[in-house]
Structure 1
């Protein structure tokens, strides 16, 4: 649970971060539709005027929540594009392990369940989520695959489709069962084994014949 703080006694950046943290809790606890700016202001212990000063609408506040949450997933993945590692299987295994570590975190699970439960009724939620997270992950992966395709080390007619399929392999049935509450999050050893196995199968399918 987010610790309450006196917004008036914190600096603007701290206030903004605290608002986002409190809003994330509210959205996860009550759902997007049932959460109003008044609800969030009440949780903050301040006025709606202060809240609207930072976020003029609930939609913009939700997008800020998505950006912050998704940034935690993206941060450890950004070094793959600039890596000079020539072993694609090793690169993808490392990428996959870091990706899995992040999507199995509690905050990522909250986001996933919120999008699944309310994305149909509120398309702007799904749009904000994909802008902040999945689209950027695909871009990082696409750039790496493109480097190997341009050098002739892999053969791929549709890099965007291929990047999406690798992410699907990484998440797999295990993540589906986790989000449904059937299985617990895997430990680090299982994450690394899963990522290495997916990378090995995936790369072998892209090698020139």
Structure 2
């Protein structure tokens, strides 16, 4: 949890980052519907008027929280599309391991639970989440798969569907059990195994028939 701190910090960027960190804690603890700008301002130790100088609404503040949290997940994944590696299975194994490390972090779990619990009542929350995170990951994967289709390494008629299915394979049943509190986060060795297994099955399912028969 972020400790209570007044808004009179060193510069506007620090203040904004601190507001986002505190708001993330409030949203995770109280839920989006039950939280308010007044609650967040009180936790910050400043006035609601000061808070509104940085964020015009609770929805705007929530979107900033989503963007920041999702960027932490996306940052290690940005090199996928630009890679010149011609071994798709190896490329997706590395991507998958980095992706899994990030989605098992406590902050990512808070976001997942919040969207699951509040998304139906507040569809704008789910929209903000998908804009900030999952859509960008899907596009990164889609563009990478397209490169391998063009080169003839794989055959795939629906790249967006395939990208989503690979992410689903990575998360699998293990992440569902983790998010509901039934299992702890896997260690690095287990994450590596899951990523290799998913990449191997996925890539072999997309190989041209002649590569399978040979």
| Two-structure CA RMSD over aligned residues (Å) | 0.6
Runs of 4+ in structure 1 displaced over 6 angstroms? none
> What residue is the counterpart of 2:90 in the other structure?
90
Deviation readout 1:141-177 (Å, 9 max, x if unpaired) = 0110010001111000000000000000000000000
Name the residue aligned to 2:121.
121
Q: Mapping of 1:64-103 within 5 angstroms?
A: 64-103=64-103
Aligned to 1:204: 204
Alignment TM-score, normalising by the size of structure 1: 0.99
Residue 8 of structure 1: how far off its partner (Å): 1.6
| Cα distance in 2, alignment partners of residues 179 and 45 from structure 1 | 32
Corresponding position: 1:194 with 2:194: yes
Gaps of 5+ in 2: 210-214
Q: Larger relative contact order (C-alpha < 8 A, sep ≥ 6)?
A: 1
TM-score by length of 2: 0.96
Unaligned runs of 5+ in 1: none
Shift of 1:7: 1.6
Task: Tell me how far apart the structure 2 counterparts of residues 161 and 31 of structure 1 sit (CA, whole Å).
Answer: 31
Q: Which residue of 2 aligns with 1:180?
A: 180
For 1:101 and 1:38, the matched residues in 2 are separated by: 34
Q: 2-side partners of 1:80 and 1:111: how far apart?
A: 24
Q: Give me the whole-angstrom Cα distance separating, in 2, the residues matched to 1:72 and 1:187.
A: 19
